[in-house]
Structure 1
């Protein structure tokens, strides 16, 4: 059953992507309702499967593959709901493809990292905030990449710029800083709840996570200060955003990738 659900979700993600790409390449109209319907079906199937993979009678399997797939689910859900107000057609094929790959990996390459949230509501809150912080800031990095690509197209006067399916440069920039601001607030809450509710936050097993997360938080604070106080734009914002997301990726996935994937 899980294999069937995985295949269904991947096919639906692929179908939604195939409905978007021609509009980006040939500047033709994109059937929003059809794309949305396919994506929602894919996300619903994805959510059903990832819940089965994480929750079992022995506890919660928060393996690196399951967490990566859960983050992909969150990002896809947020961007799909947002497609009605913002032209995210450049980003959706990317996130749908990664979500499909992550889901297949979680289902066909099972790994185990059992946790127990029963009676640990504070830890569950901390982890939930952390997942949404990482997902939000990853979306911010995607917006930064889209902004850089649009800026490059404008400067090189490429014909793709006039594609009606692509959003205006200033709109992308406004969304970028709103997303980064929300993500930074969530990251702040993650660090605060971690310091309060997590035992041994700076002990040997967790020190690298805490240090890298704090450095990423500093970078995002500098980015926001630079934009709102100094008017920073362009490559400086792009590199700070990418650097912050990369540090957060290393903070959570770095050591766990070595332990769960390579060593096992």
Structure 2
């Protein structure tokens, strides 16, 4: 039986809510959250989210890369990655953040009119490769930002000697910090490749409509590259790493979604 994207999104929202509540209700409990409930609900939500997203993205007329669909796609990528990471290592602080945001994307899908922006990427494989690199780079760098937030929280609690908040279900500070910089380096390389592929394969790379996106993306790349260099050669970490990671992430978010938000959400209501 074929299920509509609306029903799939509604069911995904419910499953994400269960996963979020399962973590939050026992986030600082010595035994940790009930992982069977959390990951069962999260797995169901991720699968339902994937089916709903596939139906919304791939239409009979082409690929619908509207702002909401793109946000939902990146959210799905991050949710899958953090969930898989949490199965191998403690990531309890990140789970309610990513599941909560996934709830918001599903809710937005249900209450926001669908804006159609049809593309035909099957006719332009090089552009599809550029978009794929850009999506993965953004997802990885946002994950690095989330780990940076986690590192900052754990470090703050340790400095206050508040060990009740740092349970065995949270990663050791050194491990979380190491993973943060690994993600940062991988995301920076992917972002550089995305910028290079766009410059090589997109005819309208320097067009007015794309100029602000490319300029902000390049500045974000420089910020991330500077942080990678500073960490490797100067030992930058802590507040410096946190500030630069947040700065780069904000710039990249404005680059990816700023103009599209104005065009598709704000101007559409005027």
TM-score (norm 2): 0.94
For residues 44-93 of structure 1, give each alpha carbon's deviation from its aligned partner in whole angstroms, at most 9, with x where no partner exists.
10010011111111111111111001110000001111112221110011
2:22 to 13, 16, 19: 19
In the TM superposition, residue 200 of structure 1 has moved relative to its aligned partner by 2.1
Secondary structure of residue in 1 paired with 2:63? strand
Q: 5+ residue gaps in structure 2?
A: none
Judge conservation of contact 1:17–1:93 (CA < 8 Å) in 2. Answer: yes
Secondary structure of residue in 2 paired with 1:191? helix
In the TM superposition, residue 228 of structure 1 has moved relative to its aligned partner by 0.8
Judge conservation of contact 1:24–1:163 (CA < 8 Å) in 2. Answer: no
For 1:160 and 1:211, how far apart are their aligned partners in 2? 44
For 1:135 and 1:124, how far apart are their aligned partners in 2? 16
Q: How does 1:27-42 map to 2 (within 5 A)?
A: 27-42=30-45
Say whether 1:240 aligns with 2:244.
yes
* Structure 2 match to 1:6: 9
In the TM superposition, residue 2 of structure 1 has moved relative to its aligned partner by 2.2
Judge conservation of contact 2:10–2:110 (CA < 8 Å) in 1. Answer: no
For 2:154 and 2:29, how far apart are their aligned partners in 1? 17
* Structure 1 match to 2:235: 231
Q: How does 1:84-163 map to 2 (within 5 A)?
A: 84-109=87-112, 110-163=114-167
Q: Tell me whether 220-229 or 105-114 shows the greater mean CA deviation.
A: 105-114
For residues 176-203 of structure 1, give each alpha carbon's deviation from its aligned partner in whole angstroms, at most 9, with x where no partner exists.
0000011011101101110111112122
Judge conservation of contact 1:2–1:107 (CA < 8 Å) in 2. Answer: no
For 1:27 and 1:7, how far apart are their aligned partners in 2? 33
For 1:216 and 1:197, how far apart are their aligned partners in 2? 21
Judge conservation of contact 2:10–2:106 (CA < 8 Å) in 1. Answer: no
In the TM superposition, residue 163 of structure 1 has moved relative to its aligned partner by 1.6
* Structure 2 match to 1:69: 72
For 1:174 and 1:143, how far apart are their aligned partners in 2? 10
Say whether 1:83 aligns with 2:86.
yes
For 2:127 and 2:166, how far apart are their aligned partners in 1? 48
For 2:5 and 2:254, how far apart are their aligned partners in 1? 29
Judge conservation of contact 2:157–2:166 (CA < 8 Å) in 1. Answer: no
For 2:122 and 2:151, how far apart are their aligned partners in 1? 43
For residues 217-262 of structure 1, give each alpha carbon's deviation from its aligned partner in whole angstroms, at most 9, with x where no partner exists.
1111110111110001111100100111111111111011010001
Secondary structure of residue in 1 paired with 2:89? coil
* Structure 2 match to 1:208: 212
In the TM superposition, residue 7 of structure 1 has moved relative to its aligned partner by 1.5
TM-score (norm 1): 0.96
Q: 5+ residue gaps in structure 1?
A: none
1:196 to 200, 203, 210: 200
Aligned residues: 264
Structure 1 residue runs of 4 or more that deviate by more than 6 Å after TM superposition = none
For 2:233 and 2:163, how far apart are their aligned partners in 1? 34
Secondary structure of residue in 1 paired with 2:33? coil
